A and B are shown apart, each in its own frame.
Chain A
Amino acid sequence: MSKENIEEILKNIGNENVPVDVHKIAQRVSADFSRTLLQTKKQHIFWEYIMRSSITKLAAAAVIVAAVFIGIYHFGSPIESTAFADVMQNIQNARTLTYQSVFTTQDQKPQVAKTMVLEPNLMRVELPEGRVWILDHGQGKTLLLDSKNKEAEISTTPQKALGLYDTFRQFRNNPDFSVRQIGQREIDGMKVIGFQLTKENDENVIIVWANPQNSLPIRIEQTTKDGDGKVIKSVTTNIIFDAELDESLFRLEVPEGYSRRFVDGPTERSVKLKKRSQTGSNMKQILLTCLMYAQDHEGQWPDTLQDLSEYGLAKDALINPKQPEQEIGFVYLKPIAPISPQQVVLYEAYHSWGDGINVGFADGHVQVIEKESDFKNQLNKVERR
């Protein structure tokens, strides 16, 4: 190939337009990065999971409301949340929950979703235009029914559903919300008391209005932003606890006459690859935080991975999705100056080698090493240093 041909290719590259979805990728990466910088001892897994999942934004917002119910009991400082705890006392042991939410976005008509929750694992969200979304967090399965087009989509992708389920648990234990009483107002002829829930460095605001007579929440207002930065407002009413709910409503069965657009679950291999990718992503997050730490400590890396909590690294990032039972699923080798960019600093803890592990290097990149001998060679280099 001649220089002129190379020049021609370069000109063509230069004339390429940036596709619209690439703009979105850049926005997402950028927003994620900023969030990593901003978060302080907080877990953003919840919002990330919800907003990144492929489910509709509307259904996602409904899940957020459900999470509020599940997690809300635990929020707040002791003084401020005493009354709030009274409100939540009623729902602590609720076995079922139903509610209706109206969602308003900047550029769409208000939409209504009806949600039913059957503890511990089942949820059904009835969406506009005859769509129904059923989740079984225990089994890690979801069913999306489109009654208009008679189509059903079953997803057995465990990551997505388990992610949501895990998110619920994390949200439940999240102590970072603060609760403030915001006075009284009248709703439908009833005097109600309001509580505002906020989180530091988080624009989402949740307001719960409750009946002071019986401490039952009767209205929840929430303002949040979707992944594209559009504001979603939701108002949840018709909140009923312990109503009789037929378990058949939560069955993950495709009704007769429906076509199945996608039924297959992921192959063992794709699950493995997905986990490998998630592991790599956690490791990148750890390394990024290490680099920030070093930046602030004259090039010194942290002594242990726990030291990164001050830099907002969520505990979950230390878990290897392949071994979720371990609190820290990685081996960290603190690099000492002079640091080589190609030096191994982090790798997956493993019992048996299998088909390879993710290995993290001092320049922040992570790669999979398939052969144990190659990995040992890399480790030997570290030891020799």
Chain B
Amino acid sequence: MDYKERIELFEKIRAEYSVFLLSVLWKLTGDRELFTEAVQYALLGIWQHLGKLNGKKAAAYIYRIALTANSKAWRNRIGRDGQLSHNQIDLAGPADQKFDRTGQAAKVRQAITQLPNKQATAVVMRYLQQQDYPAISEKLSCTEAGARSHVSKALATLKAKFAVLTERE
């Protein structure tokens, strides 16, 4: 595929998933700065994995791309050691204010970035996109019980991660 064809395919795929990315990435980030970063990473992900997004498993890959983009954006914000970057705090305002504003939802969002891929995808489908279990199981290529299990495990993991994040404060 030459460069021109790649660009055409990229634009087609971007147009196809733009509403999905906008909605999911905003709900996952809840913060304009993070959202901007996440969208950039998602577009880069699409560009890098064009071939995979043109096939049958495109829907699964787009979730992976969105979740990876979100994790990268959060990682830049919180640092690789799990601590908030002081530089980011300088730019975005005092840390306590920032977290007072975003509150518990921010902690949950941050915790989602630490979920295994299938659990994160299941959570996004179930709660952020409000899909039912038959739809989730179809997209995850598993049984309905399997989909419920992913969601349940994800909630348990989120609960544990939430507690850790709260303790750190």
| Residues of A that sit less than 8 Å from B by CB | 1-3, 6-7, 9-14, 16, 18-19, 21-23, 25-26, 29-30, 33-34, 37-38, 273, 276-277, 284, 288, 291-292, 295-296, 342, 356, 363-365, 367-368, 370
Residues in chain A near residue B7, CB distance under 8 A: 37-38
Can you list 9 A-B pairs, Cβ within 8 angstroms, ordered by A? A2-B159, A3-B155, A6-B158, A12-B105, A22-B22, A29-B39, A30-B18, A273-B90, A368-B87
CA distance A10 to B127 in the complex (A): 6
Residue B56 CB within 8 A of the other chain: no
List 10 tightest A-B contacts by C-beta distance, closest first. Answer: A10-B127, A368-B87, A33-B43, A14-B127, A29-B39, A3-B155, A14-B128, A18-B26, A9-B108, A26-B22
Residues in chain B near residue A356, CB distance under 8 A: 87
Check if B86 sits within 8 Å of A370, measured CB to CB: yes
From B10, B32, B128, B162, contact of A1 by CB (8 A):
B162
Residues in chain B near residue A277, CB distance under 8 A: 91
Residue B54 CB within 8 A of the other chain: no
> Across the two chains, which residue of chain A brings its CB closest to B29?
A22
From A13, A30, A364, contact of B27 by CB (8 A):
A13
- Closest CB of chain B to A23's CB: distance in Å? 7
Q: Which of B1-32 contact A (CB under 8 A)?
A: 3, 7, 10-11, 14, 18, 21-23, 26-27, 30, 32
| Residues of B that sit less than 8 Å from A by CB | 3, 7, 10-11, 14, 18, 21-23, 26-27, 30, 32, 35-36, 39-41, 43-44, 47-48, 72, 75-76, 79-80, 85-87, 90-91, 104-105, 108-109, 123, 126-130, 155-156, 158-159, 162-163, 166
- Closest CB of chain B to A336's CB: distance in Å? 19
Residues in chain B near residue A288, CB distance under 8 A: 40, 44
- Closest CB of chain A to B105's CB: distance in Å? 6
Residues in chain B near residue A368, CB distance under 8 A: 85, 87
- Closest CB of chain A to B27's CB: distance in Å? 5
From A6, A19, A291, A370, contact of B108 by CB (8 A):
A6
| New A-B pairs, 8, CB < 8 Å, besides A9-B104, A14-B130, A25-B32 | A3-B159, A6-B108, A7-B127, A12-B105, A25-B36, A26-B35, A26-B39, A356-B87
From A10, A13, A34, A284, contact of B30 by CB (8 A):
A13
Residues in chain B near residue A273, CB distance under 8 A: 90-91
> Across the two chains, which residue of chain A brings its CB closest to B103?
A9
> Across the two chains, which residue of chain B brings its CB closest to A32?
B40
- Closest CB of chain B to A322's CB: distance in Å? 15
Residues in chain A near residue B108, CB distance under 8 A: 6, 9-10, 13
- Closest CB of chain A to B80's CB: distance in Å? 7
CA distance A243 to B57 in the complex (A): 67
CA distance A87 to B90 in the complex (A): 52
CA distance A34 to B18 in the complex (A): 13
CA distance A83 to B23 in the complex (A): 53
From A13, A22, A26, A284, contact of B105 by CB (8 A):
A13
Check if B159 sits within 8 Å of A291, measured CB to CB: no
From B39, B72, B156, contact of A25 by CB (8 A):
B39
CA distance A26 to B27 in the complex (A): 13
- Closest CB of chain A to B85's CB: distance in Å? 7
Knowing A26-B18, A37-B47 are in contact, say whether A7-B155 is a contact too (CB < 8 A).
Answer: yes
From A11, A34, A284, contact of B11 by CB (8 A):
A34
Residues in chain A near residue B47, CB distance under 8 A: 37, 292, 295
> Across the two chains, which residue of chain B brings its CB closest to A311?
B3
Check if B129 sits within 8 Å of A3, measured CB to CB: no
- Closest CB of chain B to A363's CB: distance in Å? 7
From A6, A22, A342, contact of B159 by CB (8 A):
A6
Check if A365 sits within 8 Å of B72, measured CB to CB: yes
> Across the two chains, which residue of chain B brings its CB closest to A288?
B44
CA distance A29 to B21 in the complex (A): 12
Check if A364 sits within 8 Å of B11, measured CB to CB: no
Residues in chain A near residue B156, CB distance under 8 A: 3
- Closest CB of chain A to B121's CB: distance in Å? 14
From B39, B48, B126, contact of A30 by CB (8 A):
B39
Check if B72 sits within 8 Å of A22, measured CB to CB: no
Residues in chain B near residue A295, CB distance under 8 A: 47-48
Residues in chain A near residue B27, CB distance under 8 A: 13-14, 16
CA distance A368 to B89 in the complex (A): 12
CA distance A370 to B88 in the complex (A): 12
Check if A10 sits within 8 Å of B85, measured CB to CB: no
- Closest CB of chain A to B152's CB: distance in Å? 8
> Across the two chains, which residue of chain A brings its CB closest to B21?
A26
Check if B36 sits within 8 Å of A29, measured CB to CB: yes
CA distance A275 to B158 in the complex (A): 38
Knowing A13-B109, A34-B11 are in contact, say whether A364-B80 is a contact too (CB < 8 A).
Answer: no
CA distance A26 to B40 in the complex (A): 9
> Across the two chains, which residue of chain A brings its CB closest to B85?
A367
Residues in chain B near residue A38, CB distance under 8 A: 7
Residues in chain B near residue A7, CB distance under 8 A: 127, 155
Residues in chain A near residue B129, CB distance under 8 A: 14
